[in-house]
Amino acid sequence: MGSILPSSHSPPPPPPPPHSPPLPATVLFSQPVSELPERLPSVQEIEDSPHVLKKLWSERVVRVGQHYVAKYGEITRPIEGENMIFAREHLKSVVPRLFAIYQRPRRRKREPAITYLIMEYIDGPPLSEVWDTMGEPERIRVVDSLHGTLQIIRNIPPPDYFGGLGMAKFNDDIFSDEDDPPEAGYGPFKTESELINALVSRYRSKAGDRLRHAADYYQRVLPHVLQGSGKPVFTHGDLQPKNIMIGTRGKVMIIDWEASGWYPIWWEYATTMDASNLKDDWHNYVPRCMSEFPNHFAWFNMLYREMWF
């Protein structure tokens, strides 16, 4: 019987294939070098940063260097950066500065691209972490600052549609979520009634047959109870204490503009008054910074909770 060992003259086995290098990122936007506080970080430096400020399965926020914070992931969208640029044009230093947007494609089809937003680092806590420690004068100062901010963006001349900037779809998670493909979404809409009908349509798609009678009811009554002024206003879309930063010397800044767009006048109040905020007295101060729409909030909140919980 012959030997099964390889001959000393047999060629060595081929080496394993090398790992493919990551696909290069495309720079979608960048401030001029002269306006940068330091060199922009690379994708590798962002992903290797040990200073993780927020971590979800499909998105992270990390600090990079002394001046930057980077938000990146599959659910991060360039529209958030565009919203920041637009809002900062009107609000100046209330909005953190956006320095760059990178995007890296995924290897497999149907996988979303990875977007990287490189922004100004705010040295301070979110309002949600310090609210309970604030005295009444300090709370009023913060809320009155927010009132001035909202007055400015409410007076921005609106377009003739409801939707994201530049006729884009809405980026609010009531219209799309992490499980949807990148092309999913709703809008823009010509009228407020079309938007309300889209809310019911989204409800039907999420709730399914188990709540079909509720969907029929909402289809009948929501066009009456969710009517606003009929005109869109520029809206942050998630103006909760977690997204209000208290910076150096108490400066108030607003982050997380991904859901922003042209919404009905009642939308800001409905999203700000998310049910989680009813666990503290934040709701007592909201009327100091925006008009109240309690009926709209109650219906909107019921619809949202039934869809997602």
Which CATH number do you get for residue 112?
A: 3.30.200
Query: What local confidence, expressed as pLDDT, does residue 208 receive?
Result: 81
Please count the structural domains in the chain. Answer: 2
Q: What is the pLDDT of residues 60-110, one digit of tens each?
A: 999 999 999 999 999 899 999 999 999 999 999 999 999 999 999 876 766
Do 225 and 269 fall into the same domain? yes
CB distance 215 to 203 below 8 Å: yes
Do 162 and 294 fall into the same domain? yes
Q: How far apart are CA 60 and CA 53, in angstroms?
A: 8
> Last residue of some domain: 70, 99, 120?
120
Q: Would you say residue 168 has pLDDT above 80?
A: yes
| Residue 206 maps to a domain | yes
CB distance 297 to 273 below 8 Å: yes
| Residue 8 maps to a domain | no
DSSP string, 33-83: GGG-SSPPPPHHHHHT-S-EEEEETTEEEEEETTTEEEEEESS--HHHHHH
Do 38 and 101 fall into the same domain? yes
| Residue 5 maps to a domain | no
> Last residue of some domain: 72, 102, 120?
120
Do 176 and 116 fall into the same domain? no
| Residue 196 maps to a domain | yes
End-to-end distance of the chain based on CA atoms, in angstroms?
Answer: 70
Do 74 and 134 fall into the same domain? no
83: CB partners within 8 A, 6+ apart: 164, 165, 257, 258, 260, 261
Do 86 and 110 fall into the same domain? yes
86: CB partners within 8 A, 6+ apart: 165, 234, 260
Query: What local confidence, expressed as pLDDT, does residue 1 receive?
Result: 45
| Residue 114 maps to a domain | yes
| Residue 217 maps to a domain | yes
| Residue 300 maps to a domain | yes
Q: Would you say residue 16 has pLDDT above 60?
A: no
Q: What is the pLDDT of residues 118-165, one digit of tens each?
A: 999 999 999 999 999 999 999 999 999 999 999 999 999 999 999 999
Would you place residue 181 in the very low, low, confident or very high pLDDT band (cuts 50, 70, 90)?
low
Do 163 and 282 fall into the same domain? yes
Do 116 and 134 fall into the same domain? no
Q: How large is the average pLDDT for residues 246-269? A: 95
**Higher pLDDT among residues 85 and 181, named by residue:** 85
| Residue 1 maps to a domain | no
Give long-range contacts, CB 8 A cutoff, 24+ apart: 4-9: none
Do 112 and 156 fall into the same domain? no
As given in the structure block, the two tokens for residue 126 are 């979110």
> Last residue of some domain: 99, 120, 141?
120
Do 207 and 115 fall into the same domain? no
- Which residues form the domain of 290? 127-308
Neighbours of 66 (CB within 10 A): 9
Q: What is the pLDDT of residues 34-45, one digit of tens each?
A: 999 999 999 999
* Domain CATH code at residue 234: 3.90.1200.10
What does pLDDT average to over the chain?
89
Do 74 and 196 fall into the same domain? no
Helix, strand, or coil (residue 179): coil
Answer positive or negative: Cα dihedral of 59, 61, 62, 68. positive
Do 151 and 293 fall into the same domain? yes
Query: What local confidence, expressed as pLDDT, does residue 179 receive?
Result: 62
Would you place residue 22 in the very low, low, confident or very high pLDDT band (cuts 50, 70, 90)?
low
Name the burial class of residue 196, with classes exposed (0-12), middle (13-18) and buried (19+) by CB atoms within 10 angstroms of its CB.
buried
Q: How far apart are CA 44 and CA 26, in angstroms?
A: 14
At which residue do the structure tokens 């990178």 appear?
102
Q: What is the pLDDT of residues 217-237, one digit of tens each?
A: 999 999 999 989 999 999 999
Would you place residue 6 in the very low, low, confident or very high pLDDT band (cuts 50, 70, 90)?
very low
